[in-house]
Amino acid sequence: MKTNDLIIQTTTKVVFFIIFLFSIHIFFAGHYAPGGGFVGGLLMSSAIILLLLAFDLKTVKEMLPVNYTVVTAIGLLTSLATAAGSIFFNVPFFTHVYSDFNLPLLGVTSIHTAMFFDTGVYLVVVGVTMTIIQMIGGDE
């Protein structure tokens, strides 16, 4: 018997982007307000899990053809590279720097290397959560 998931699927298509944008917002707000890489990553994976609930595993894999183990590895490398950059300047590991940049569209923006470290955390959290969900959900 084929059930009709029209309402949940349509709602998901809208809500997914709202959660996704909120996760990006939380991620960028982390330095001055509650939030950061960990919560942002969890929100992002919850958005993908909503997709998994509304559609099935195979469809979501086609929508987002990502190997989440690789996402985790990229996240680890990003964080490590950010922290290890200090080695090349012969200052203690994990020394962060920041500066103001004049970016197009955004204007003068203060960019701190801690943000790149948080990007790594974000990717690792998404990668690990999605690997767990896919492993338990799939039956290959």
Partner 1 sequence: MINLLLFPVLIPFLFAAILLFFPKKVKAQRITVMIGLLLALTSTIALLIKVKSDGVQTLTLGSWAPPFGITMVSDMLSVLLVTSSLIIALFVVWYSFTSIGEDREKAFYYPAIMFMLTGVNGAFTTGDIFNMFVFFEVLLMSSYVLIVLGGEKGQLRESIKYILVNIVSSSLFVITVGYLYSVVGTLNMADISIKLAEIGQAGIITVIAVLFLIVFGIKGAIFPLFFWLPGSYAAPPMPILTLFGALLTKVGVYAIIRTYTLFFTTDIGFTHELLMIISIITIIAGCIGALAYFDVKQIIIYNIVIAVGVILFGASIMNENGMLGSMFYLIHDILIKGALFLLIGIVIKITGTSDLRKMGGLMKRYPTLAWSYLVAAFGLAGIPPLSGFLGKLLIVQGGIEDGHIWQSIFILASSLVVLLSVIRIFIYAFWGEEKVVQEISPKTYRHLLAPTICLVVITVLYGVGSEFVVPFMKDATTVLLDPAVYTDAVFKGVK
What is the contact surface with partner 1 in residues (CB under 8 A)?
A: 69-70, 72-73, 76-77, 80, 84, 86-87, 90-96
Q: Among residues 13 and 31, whose Cβ is nearest to partner 1?
A: 31
Write phi, then psi, for 111 (nearest 5 degrees): -115, 130
Q: Closest distance between partner 1 and the C-beta of residue 90, in Å?
A: 6
Q: Closest distance between partner 1 and the C-beta of residue 95, in Å?
A: 4
Q: What is the largest CA-CA distance in the chain?
A: 66
Q: Among residues 20 and 38, whose Cβ is nearest to partner 1?
A: 38
Whole-number Å distance between alpha carbons of 95 and 113:
9
Whole-number Å distance between alpha carbons of 100 and 110:
4
H helices of the chain, in order, are 6-29, 37-54, 57-63, 68-88, 114-137
Q: Closest distance between partner 1 and the C-beta of residue 106, in Å?
A: 27
Q: Among residues 32 and 93, whose Cβ is nearest to partner 1?
A: 93
